[in-house]
Amino acid sequence: MPLLSVLRACALCALVLGSSAGEPIWIEGEAPTTVAGPFAADAPERADHLSGGSWLKLNAAPAEALPAGGAIVRWDFAAAASGSYAVWHRYGMESVRGPFAWRIDDGAWTTIAAKEQPYVDLMDPGFWVEVAWMKLGDATLTAGRHSLEVRVEAQVDHDGKPLAPAYAADCFCLTDQPFLPDGRHRPGQRPASADDVAAAQQVFALPASGEGRLSTSLAGLWQVARFDEWRPADRSGPDRALPAAVPSWTAIAVPGDKFVVRPDLNLAHRLIYRTRVNVPAALAGRAFVLRIPALSMIGSVHVNGVFCGWTKAMLTEFDCDVSAAVKPGADNEIAVVIKDGYYGLSPEKAKAPWSHLAMTPVAWRTVGWITPLLDFPIATAPMSGLLEAPTFEVRGAVHASDVFAKPSVARKALALEITLRNPAAKPVTATVDVAVEPLTGGAPAKTFATVSATLAAGEERVLHLDESWPDPILWWPDAPHQYVAVTTVSAPGAVADVARTKFGFREWTWASEDFTLNGIPWRLRADTSERADFDEQLALWREHHQNTMRLWGWGTFWGMDQRAALDRLDASGMHVRRSGLFDGQGAFYMHNLADPALFANWTVQVLAQVRAERNHPSIQIWSIENEIAFINSRNLGLSASVEPMIAATAKQVMALDPTRPAMVDGGRCLVNEDLPVNSCHYDETFWREYPDEAYTYDLAYRSHEVTWNGWDKSPWRLVPGRPVFHSEGFYANGYKPGDFAQWGGEECFAGWDRARRGAGIFARILSEGYRWRGIAAFHFWLGEAQVLPYWNSWSPVAALTREWNRTFAGGSEATRTVKVLNDTRDGAPIDFRWEVRVGERTVADGGGVREVAAGGAREERIAFT
């Protein structure tokens, strides 16, 4: 057979020749000496993952008969010295392979059971194609020639039907030395790229001295190494120890998603990121903090081999105090162990070992048959790594680790929660001084009385300051003034710590059907019209009179990270509905949603995000989940068990940040009415009820009692006396163009371009009706592509008419009910004028100056014939 002849010829060349004592014996799988069965050399999609660029694969259909006694392949090799050798095999198809057997020379066969033998160094040369290393066992060899054989036998399923036998051989390594598998590379022979060399040489430097806080960015090339485990000892916890050795260190870009910047590490689910920071000796006695703005999924920090702390609050800020491990006057090794999202897959939910889940293709991380296995809230956030650039910070020996500003316009006071931390090994007495300065600079506008506190070694304590401030400049959307609270912490004989905390002096309330901003009813409106550039986006919002937006999840926003994006929003005066990671839109968690472990992990994450972002004045409300209540739990009959867990988390959020409400995105106030805001998704009723329903909201308030829409009755009452936030409404793309003929006439049946006028009319009806009714906030799920302009209906100062009829009997009196709205903070009189024209002729007019309070409205009736 030509194939066997070629393989045998390759085998003569591949026989391990010239190996000396202590050197490993390396055998290429695609070059066997003999084969009995349908084996062939093969190259998968990513052949560069394999030693030699190919492997020997068994190609047999289920019903194809294998030779009697199984398909057997043999490799001849030579040992340079006698001794005991560990036999390692790099093989393929672990996810589907059956048992195979191996032996040296003509010894007894040893069977390797399916999925029961530990593997390491898993990689993905193709879709549902794996390659990994496995220790087969040990063998005693004499110097000279030997053979290694593998046997694969026919397999049947539980019903006795034949299965396609799956097996592939990439290479073998027989060694009498410690062996750490390293992909396709022979021991110690991985070549170093230019980036690998640069990463190994990288040393970040701190300034040699300076007052206050110092820092350096750690963006750049780091080193990375695999830290594999077959079945995790602590799947959801920290890694408190580093391994004694790793196969190799290579370069990785920080920040970056490892699935993007290093796809060869797709199935390396636990990695060590490593770099060095030079800490000058002059900084001795200070505190040191590694700040990681975003990582995923679980991160454990080690400095100079000492475990310093960990987080499972993915995709939000993590500050790790590393003071106890830092050595001033030296280069300090920083290591961050990161477990990726595969550690969120629960073997208990899958009823399968984690080692099998670990082979799931990267492309399947967010599909509906995988996400129900998660007990972390990452169904829509599968990225992994150090995702935003870390910084290494120097602070005072005792310092403010967190400052939270809680302004009150009603009380004319500013409260501060200052968290003091003493990382030293001895007690310290510190004094705290706070001066509040304009963000743009200048003299302090407010100073607080000095306070002092004695902290024990390692203690962290929260100080509560609360003082009157009769004349602050308030943060308003049209004048978003911001302050900086400059917190100076001093201790005898220590360098003072200075923390600068940006905030805006503004106050939201939600005790009625209105949101109020600084005491004025403040109504919000938005759609999904988008621009890629922030300045263009801001100009569009202002053109459309849009005054709120949704900042959702983690990522880059207009090319900025989440902190930079929030800073721009703070400065622009835009209100933000801040949405988190936990998303049930696609019922991602299915029937496994009601899992206390999932909710506990989510709570950790959302609380960490709230703590990190709560000083941003642009954030108006915390949207702690998306459609977990509305879709995932409601449609799967899980509300009774899920909603109390949501409510408990919301309560913790509002305790951590009492300056804003928390809501779900869809699900109103929940069945037990635990939440302060009615958050509605797609609460439009049958279109035959419009325009009246938009103006009255009568059916909406009875929707738990009457057939409301295609979903029948609502499981949630719309709670009177609480704000209604129609957080997703009028999903225009959810309709066919012809549906809009009710508003736009027959032309709508001609397609979307001709239906935009009708969609725009309905958007106007909803906008003007909701404003008339006093709906606190609404966000249409549509953009410019779906509708013709309707945004004049959003003008802050507007005169809207209640009636929509346009045809009148000749000589009869026509009436209009007009409401003049003042959605501004300015209570100056409004000049309201109206006129009726027939052609170019004005047939009636009227109006005059009207007194309308800021945030208020005035209704009047006009008539003409």
Write out pLDDT tens, residues 93-137: 999 998 999 999 999 999 999 888 999 999 999 999 999 999 999
User: By mean pLDDT, which of 158-172, 262-276, 567-581 is the weakest?
Assistant: 158-172
What is the DSSP code (8-state) at residue 756?
H
Structure tokens at 514: 């209105």
pLDDT at 489 over 70: yes
Overall average pLDDT of the 292-304 stretch: 99
Structure tokens at 37: 């069965």
Alpha carbons 276 and 195: distance in angstroms, whole number = 16
Asked if 415 and 408 touch (Cβ cutoff 8 Å), the reply is yes
Residue 235 zone, left/alpha/beta (φ > 0; ψ -120 to 50; rest): alpha
Q: Where are the domains of the chain?
A: 2-175, 194-393, 396-506, 509-794, 797-864
Annotate 109-127 with DSSP letters as a single string: -EEE-TTTS--EEEEEEET
Alpha carbons 184 and 133: distance in angstroms, whole number = 10
Angle formed at CA 746 by CA 741 and CA 747, multiple of 5 degrees: 100
pLDDT given at position 14: 42
Asked if 167 and 66 touch (Cβ cutoff 8 Å), the reply is no
What is the DSSP code (8-state) at residue 211?
S
Alpha-carbon 338 to chain mean position = 15
Q: Which of 770, 772, 763 is nearest to 816 (CA)?
A: 772
pLDDT given at position 162: 83
Does this model's pTM top 0.75? Answer: yes
Fold match between 396-506 and 509-794?
no
Q: Which of 287, 308, 324 is nearest to 212 (CA)?
A: 287
> If pLDDT is split at 50, 70 and 90, which confidence band does 270 have?
very high
Percent residues over pLDDT 70 in the chain? 97
Q: Which of 466, 327, 487, 504 is nearest to 421 (CA)?
A: 487
pLDDT given at position 18: 35
> If pLDDT is split at 50, 70 and 90, which confidence band does 9 have?
very low
How many C-beta neighbours within 10 Å does residue 64 have?
13
pLDDT at 375 over 70: yes
Residues 6+ apart with CB under 8 A from 837: 843
pLDDT given at position 20: 59
Alpha carbons 570 and 501: distance in angstroms, whole number = 13
> If pLDDT is split at 50, 70 and 90, which confidence band does 475 have?
very high
> If pLDDT is split at 50, 70 and 90, which confidence band does 17 have?
very low
Class in CATH terms, 2-175 = mainly beta
Tell me the β-bridge partners of 576. Answer: 549, 619
Quick: pLDDT tens for 217-231: 999 999 999 999 999
End-to-end CA separation in angstroms for the chain: 102
Alpha carbons 600 and 598: distance in angstroms, whole number = 6
> If pLDDT is split at 50, 70 and 90, which confidence band does 865 have?
confident
Q: Which stretches of 560-640 are assigned E, i.e. beta strand?
A: 575-579, 619-626
What is the DSSP code (8-state) at residue 560?
B
How many C-beta neighbours within 10 Å does residue 188 have?
11
Rg (CA), the chain: 34
For 50, what's the count of Cα atoms within 13 Å in the CB-facing half-sphere?
A: 28
Percent residues over pLDDT 90 in the chain? 90
pLDDT given at position 21: 61
Q: Does the domain spanning 509-794 belong to CATH 3.30.70.1290?
A: no
Hey, which of 170-174, 584-588, 705-709, 730-734 has the most confident mean pLDDT?
170-174
Overall average pLDDT of the 479-499 stretch: 94
Hey, which of 287-301, 489-503, 825-839 has the most confident mean pLDDT?
287-301
pLDDT given at position 488: 97
pLDDT given at position 10: 40
Class in CATH terms, 194-393 = mainly beta
> If pLDDT is split at 50, 70 and 90, which confidence band does 603 have?
very high
Average pLDDT, the chain: 95
Angle formed at CA 655 by CA 650 and CA 661, multiple of 5 degrees: 55
Overall average pLDDT of the 670-685 stretch: 97
How many C-beta neighbours within 10 Å does residue 337 have?
23
> If pLDDT is split at 50, 70 and 90, which confidence band does 63 have?
low
pLDDT given at position 164: 84
Q: Tell the CATH superfamily of the 396-506 domain.
A: Immunoglobulins (2.60.40.10)
Alpha carbons 165 and 154: distance in angstroms, whole number = 6
Alpha carbons 598 and 47: distance in angstroms, whole number = 38
Q: Which of 562, 611, 614, 575 is nearest to 480 (CA)?
A: 575
Give phi and psi for 445, each to the nearest 5: -90, -15
Q: Which of 605, 695, 689, 690 is nearest to 653 (CA)?
A: 605
pLDDT at 1 over 60: no
pLDDT given at position 495: 84
Quick: pLDDT tens for 640-661: 999 999 999 999 999 999 999 9
> If pLDDT is split at 50, 70 and 90, which confidence band does 608 have?
very high
Q: Which H/E stretch holds residue 330?
A: strand 330-339
pLDDT at 451 over 70: yes
pLDDT at 4 over 50: no
